[in-house]
Amino acid sequence: MIKTLKKYFLLYLAMFKASFIADLEYRANFFSRILTDVFWYIAQIITFEVLYQHTEKIGDWNVKEMRVFLGLLFVIDAFYMIIIHENLENITEKVRKGDLDLLLAKPVNSQFMLTLQKANTAIFGNLLLGSSWLIYSLMGLEGFNYARLLWLIILFPCSLIVIYSMRFMFSASAVIFTRSENLQFLWWQVYRLGMRPDSMYTPYVKYVLLTLIPVGVIVSIPARALLNPPNLTYLLWPLILVPLLLYGTHRFWNFALKFYSSASS
Amino acid sequence: MLTTGIEILLWVAVFKGAKSATIAGFSEANYLSYALWSAFFARIATSWMYEFKMVEEVSSGSINSIIVRPMSFYEYYLSQLMGYKVVTTFISLIIPIAAVFIFDLPTDLSRLPLATLLCFYYLFLVHTISFIISTMAFHFTKISSLTVAKNLFMWILMGELFPLDLLPEPYKTWVISLPFASGTFTPVAYITGRIGLQTVIEGFMSVTIGLVVLNLIGAYLWRRGLNTYVGTGA
């Protein structure tokens, strides 16, 4: 078991290094990727800063608390973009061009390869910016208990796995349908639901977003862990959800592969 | 529809927190109408697919087949973009119009033709910017994220996120004076009664100035790009 884990860890390190070298090759693209996310951050920040000029609270939170929510969103999104995004974004292309055959033929788990083959190292700049915004927003909270940050050790990986699992299901559907661009677009719309605090939604919608389509878990639960008094039922829910989702992706991938007919053969 | 739904939920939450019947002089129904129409106009005023295609044509070398046609690269893709937008606009127009009647949202439909015309005029500017971006592909191998960055920048300034007149002064005046406001804010604010005809006319003027300036830049960059171009895809 440990030997296998070590093998996969070393493999990931090698792929990460190769990705970094490849990213540096296209320097203009490297820097414009950072610029892209800076605009996205600005858009999110300006939206809420302007709205809070006209209201005291949105959902349960005031402007200072919303800044923390946005900080967490930026950091979680940056990790997702670095580690996973590009791989899952390209599944449709891999299926169509027959590149998936190459991955399936390798002596490693195909889901692992498909998920982690390429790291997007250009996003490290964004991670730095997002983290800076999070620190700035936390410093703006009066009497914030910094010990609450320890929750993030558990909740950050949970958030990443939730995004991964959901995105993976959308992307892997490309194996079944071959062309699934519209489903990928739908994913972005679903993900956007999680980019807003759960308290903004009606109780029924909120329930759905925390359970059936759990995008509400991604940022709202870590934000609540930092901002509100601890509610263990709420905070431990991701720990139950994550193994279920991971198992679900594994089963779904095996199911999807039954439909794969190899484009290159 | 999901995008509009999210924005509508946001405005409902904002009004709940504001504990006031109006924000900046407009009711909740007015903001819901703005959210509905801004999603519709923002889709018209954005060009992702054709810009990616234009960049791809230049960087892959398949532009060779377009250069020899009796139509410029700019005109070739402009005709495709406009054709696509006209068809999709008229089909998708059914959804916001139906929503206006079903939910009784404040919208002056008699203003819709002029608002749509402004948005389509703005599309010329969008296409010119796409043309400029595609000329970058003469010099750089991979510039897809430049398209994303540019579209995000324009997204902020167009007014899809929130009505631009909610910005504090002097930012409000600056941003509304820019041609980007003509993509979403000006047409939507016009049909939802936030602004009058004068601002729409100013929008047309602003886009015209933008078109002149950007077309000059585009023509220069195109000539410069062609001088350095070697037909690798031939």
Rounded to the nearest angstrom, the minimum Cα separation between B74 and chain A is 24
pLDDT at B178: 92
**Has residue B167 got a pLDDT over 80?**
yes
> Measured between beta carbons, which residues in chain B are less than 8 angstroms from residue A28?
136, 140, 142-143, 146
Contact across the interface for A55 and B23, Cβ inside 8 Å: yes
Q: How far is CA B178 from CA A188, B35, B46, B117, in A?
A: 29, 21, 16, 18
* Alpha carbon distance A262, A101 (integer Å): 6
Question: Cβ of B149 and A35 within 8 Å?
Answer: yes
Residue B197 · residue B117 · CB < 8 Å: no
Taking an 8 Å cut-off on Cβ atoms, the answer to whether A32 and B149 are in contact is yes
Question: With b meaning 16 or more CB within 10 Å and e meaning fewer, what string describes A226-240?
Answer: bbeeeeeebbebbee
Contact A53 B162 (CB under 8 A): no
- Confidence band for B234, pLDDT divided at 50, 70 and 90: very low
Residue B205: C-alpha distances to residues A109, B182, B199, B209 (Å) = 59, 10, 10, 6
Q: How far apart are CA B154 and CA A259, in angstroms?
A: 41
Is B14 within 8 Å of A51 when comparing Cβ atoms? Answer: yes
Q: Which residues on chain A are in Cβ contact (under 8 Å) with B153?
A: 39
Which among B17, B142, B166 has CB closest to A58?
A: B17
What backbone phi and psi angles, to 5 degrees, belong to A154? Answer: -85, -45
Q: Which of A27, A54, A204 to mutate to test the interface with B (most CBs of B within 10 A)?
A: A54
- Burial class of residue A184, CB neighbours in 10 A (0-12, 13-18, 19+): middle
Cα of A70 to nearest chain B Cα, Å = 15
The string of pLDDT tens digits covering residues B80-130 is 889 998 998 888 888 889 888 888 888 888 999 999 999 999 999 999 999
Alpha carbons A260 and A243: distance in angstroms, whole number: 26
Instruction: Show residues of chain A in contact with B155, CB under 8 Å.
Output: 39, 43
A184 CA: distance to closest CA in chain B (Å): 14
So what's the pLDDT on residue B206?
94
Residue B166, domain extent: 47-86+107-232
Q: Which residues from A are below 8 Å from B28, CB to CB?
A: none
Write down the pLDDT at residue B212.
95
Residue B32 lies in a domain: no
Cross-chain residue pair B152–A33, CB shorter than 8 Å: no
Query: Is the CA virtual torsion A161, A166, A170, A176 positive or negative?
Result: positive
Cα nearest neighbour of A26 on chain B: B142
Residues of chain B with pLDDT > 90: what percent? Answer: 26
Q: Best of B8, B10, B43, B133 to disrupt the A interface by mutation (most A CBs within 10 Å)? A: B10
Whether B172 has its CB under 8 Å from any CB of chain A: the answer is no
Q: Which residues of chain A fall below pLDDT 70?
A: 28-29, 178-181, 263-265
The label of the residue with tokens 């970058």 reads B136
For A94, counting Cβ atoms within 10 Å of its Cβ (0-12 exposed, 13-18 middle, 19+ buried), the class is buried
Contact flag A36-B168 (C-beta cutoff 8 Å): no
Asked if A26 lies within 8 A of B3 by C-beta distance, the reply is: no
In a domain, B91, yes or no: no
pLDDT at B22: 77
Query: What is the rounded CA–CA span in Å between residue B141 and residue A197?
Result: 39
- CB-CB under 8 Å, A43 with B6: no
Q: Is residue B78 in some structural domain? A: yes
Which among A213, A29, A166 has a CA at the least distance from the CA of B147? A29
| A107-148 residue pLDDT tens | 888 888 888 888 888 788 888 888 999 999 999 888 888 888
Reported as a pLDDT band with limits 50, 70 and 90, residue B231 is low
Residues 6+ apart with CB under 8 A from B169: none
pLDDT tens sequence across A1-12: 788 888 888 988
CB contact under 8 A, B143 and A29: yes
Percent of chain B beyond pLDDT 70? 96
Average pLDDT score over residue span B178-200? 92
Of residues B24 and B119, more confidently modeled: B119
Cα separation of A101 and A42, whole Å?
41
Q: Looking at the domain assignment, is residue B174 inside a domain? A: yes
* Binary contact (A36, B6; C-beta < 8 A): no
Q: Is residue B199 part of a domain?
A: yes
Residues of A with CB under 8 A from a CB of B: 26, 28-29, 32-33, 35-36, 39-40, 42-43, 46-47, 50-51, 53-59, 186, 189-190, 192-193, 196, 199-202, 205
Closest partner residue to A189 (CB to CB) among B3, B10, B161 is B3
Helix (H) or strand (E) holding B106: none
Mean pLDDT computed over every residue of chain A: 85
- Note the ipTM here: 0.77
A23 in Cβ contact with A30 (< 8 Å)? yes
B214 lies in some domain: yes
> What is the structure's pLDDT at A136?
93
Question: In the Cβ-directed half-sphere of B130, how many Cα atoms lie within 13 Å?
Answer: 26
pLDDT at A263 (0 to 100): 59
Number of domains present in the structure of chain B: 1
Q: What is the pLDDT of residues B30-79, one digit of tens each?
A: 888 898 899 889 888 888 788 888 888 777 777 777 777 777 888 888 88
Structural domain boundaries in chain A:
2-263
Q: A39: closest CA among B157, B130, B141?
A: B157
Tell me which residue in A47, A53, A56 faces B168 most closely, judged by beta carbons: A53
Question: For residue B232, what pLDDT is reported?
Answer: 59
Bridge partners of residue A61, in order along the sequence: A58
Distance from CA of A2 to the nearest CA of B (A): 40
Is residue B22 assigned to a domain? no
* Cβ-Cβ contacts under 8 Å, A47 against chain B: 161-162
Question: B230 and chain A: CB distance < 8 Å anywhere?
Answer: no
